[in-house]
Amino acid sequence: MRGHCRTCREDAAWRASVGLPDECGDERGPQMGLGDFVERLAKPIAKALGMKCLDEAGKLRPESPCAKRRNALNRRFHL
Q: Phi/psi at 72 (nearest 5 deg)?
A: -65, -45
Whole-model pTM? Answer: 0.58
C-alpha 23 chain-centroid distance: 14
| Contact present, 24 and 9 (Cβ < 8 Å) | yes
pLDDT at 75: 85
| Contact present, 26 and 5 (Cβ < 8 Å) | yes
Report the number of distinct structural domains present in the chain: 1
Residue 79 has pLDDT above 50, yes or no: yes
* Whole-angstrom Cα Rg for the chain: 14
Q: How confident is the model at residue 50 (pLDDT cuts 50, 70, 90)?
A: very high
Residue-range definition of the domain harbouring residue 41: 5-76
